[in-house]
Amino acid sequence: MYTAFYRFRKPILALGVFAVCVLGAAVCPAQEPALPAGMETDKEQSSGAGPALPSGLGDKTENPASEAPGLPSGLGGGPEAAKQPPSDKTRKWQMPEEINGYVEARGGLRIHDDPVHDDVSLAETRLQLSYDKAVSAYIPRGRFRTTADLLFDATVSDHDNADLEEGTGFLDLREFWLSFTPVDFVDIRAGRQILTWGTGNLVFLNDLFPKDYQSFFLGRDLEYLKAPADAVKASIYGNVANVDIVYTPRFDSDRFPDGSRLSFYDPSIGGWRGEDNPMDTRRPDDWFADEEVAVRVYRNIGAYELAAYGYHGFWKGPSGTDPATGERIFPELDVLGASLRGMLGPGIANTEFAWYHSEEDEDGSDPFVENSQMRYLVGYEQEVATDRTLGVQYYVEYMLDYDAYEDSLAIFPPDFPKKDRARQWLTLDLTQELMAQNQLRLSLFTFYSLSANEFYFRPKAAYDYTDNWKFQAGANIFMGERTDFFGRFEESSNVYAAVRYGF
């Protein structure tokens, strides 16, 4: 029992603090302080009748026109005369300003006959609560924030257990952090937080913080593509450059499709992955041993932002196989990269590259571990018409030591699929805003593989009916051969819709 408590002590503590903060704030709404005795205003005074007269000179009778002086104490004005007129202002309960969130219902349907899953891809109700509070009275420029999603998902059978690492179950704790400024040029943020950097649009080279691709492909809101990380971030501001350092004491992997919610064809087994045979994985999960360190150094030069990146940790998704057990593994990884972003003509251009050094396959001769790579990205975005924006990107993954990789495939059957040396993609992002206040947004994001002739389409319509009510509808469409990345998800293509009320 003690071992189980020790293992889950952090999520238990997180839930306890969140419940205390939210419930405490909810039952204690802000109120105006009471006035000192004798200074309460009656109905007539509050309506603009001027300041109260000195004692004995004010009207206390029911006839305001009477000019007779008030009787001395004890000679009149029984209990009824001492009563104050009832106030017509009824105090109303309001949500404390530190708390915000939304309630959302979201559903989705598969558009193909999935070989292992039902037609319903998504059927969930979500309540998100965020508590944000300044605590500068206790620590320098201190701030505390927690965000939790309470979720009922009708497509799963287990509604009780919550896995905070996978984001499954009835609870997804997305934020639980404390920030402060120990000295003027350093900011510290510690705890569960959402982290991101880099210049790509849905393409990540040097952004090696966890992503939730399962949520993304199911049709959840774009905010859920970024999964939380349990980390400490230090931001250092200097005259020459600024530095961000992120330390994650235990590896946080991507939330990737494993077959439990999205089926896909797995060439390694020559069959489908589904809820009955999900992918088996073995993650590095030892605190302070399986750690990650990410660094960004950046500065502005005129209208351009230049950045350099470094990372030491593990491949974020399964990028290797243990031949003895068949489990998918996460080999060690080092990354160095850089990016440049700024104005170019009437639009904004960006370029980024990264060198992925696979520490467990340095010479490329291990067929069970992902090879080292060079990754390149070039992008451009411009408003091509009124409220219409077009963005394009060209992305390349270039395998190093390719000859050694080809030689290593001799142990597999001749029909075993072989990777290309250079895998190339084009992306297109078209967005049109409509109506008087741009309440309606229509968008289409497309991946196209030049190497494999496969597609991924993500159309979406978002309508802000009021400041509180929002509606969404969209789709995730995959097309390609079963052995290609997007093609293997073709049977999981889906459409979805959602309604959200924010407060």
How far CA 326 is from CA of 95, 280, 409, in Å, comes to 52, 8, 17
Give the strands of the sheet with 281-282, arranged side by side.
Answer: 281-282, 328-329, 320-321
Does residue 86 form part of some domain?
no
218 within domain boundaries = yes
Domain presence at residue 3? no
Total of domains in the chain: 1
Report the mean per-residue pLDDT for the chain: 85
What is the domain range of residue 231?
96-502
The answer, yes or no, to whether residue 62 has pLDDT greater than 70, is no
Taking alpha carbons only, the member of 485, 492, 494 closest to residue 266 is 485
In a domain, 18, yes or no: no
Closest by alpha carbon to 10, among 281, 228, 313?
228
What local confidence, expressed as pLDDT, does residue 189 receive?
A: 98
Tell me if 310 is assigned to some domain: yes
pLDDT of 471 > 80? The answer is yes
Give residue 145's pLDDT: 98
Lowest-confidence range among 2-6, 208-212, 234-238? 2-6
pLDDT tens-place string over residues 75-98: 444 444 444 555 555 666 777 889
Q: Is residue 151 part of a domain?
A: yes
Are the CB atoms for 147 and 129 separated by under 8 Å? yes
Identify whether the C-beta of residue 232 lies closer than 8 Å to the C-beta of residue 189.
Answer: yes
pLDDT digits (tens, 9 = 90+) for 329-388: 999 999 999 999 999 999 999 999 999 999 999 999 999 999 999 999 999 999 999 999
pTM of the model: 0.80
Q: pLDDT at position 51, please?
A: 41
CA 97 to chain centre: 22
In a domain, 199, yes or no: yes
With cut-offs at 50, 70 and 90, classify the pLDDT of residue 268. Answer: confident
The pLDDT score that the predictor gives to residue 413 is 87
Q: What is the reported pLDDT for 461?
A: 98
pLDDT value of position 129? 97
Residue-wise burial string across 398-423, b where 16 or more C-beta atoms lie within 10 A, e elsewhere: bbbbeeebeebeeeeeeeeeeeeeeb
pLDDT for residue 161: 80
Reply yes or no on whether the pLDDT at 6 is more than 60.
Answer: no
Confidence of residue 22 (pLDDT cuts 50, 70, 90): very low
Give a yes or no: residue 40 inside a domain: no
**Calpha distance 380→498 (Å, rounded):** 31
CATH of the domain at 343: 2.40.160.100
At position 283, the amino acid (one-letter code) is R
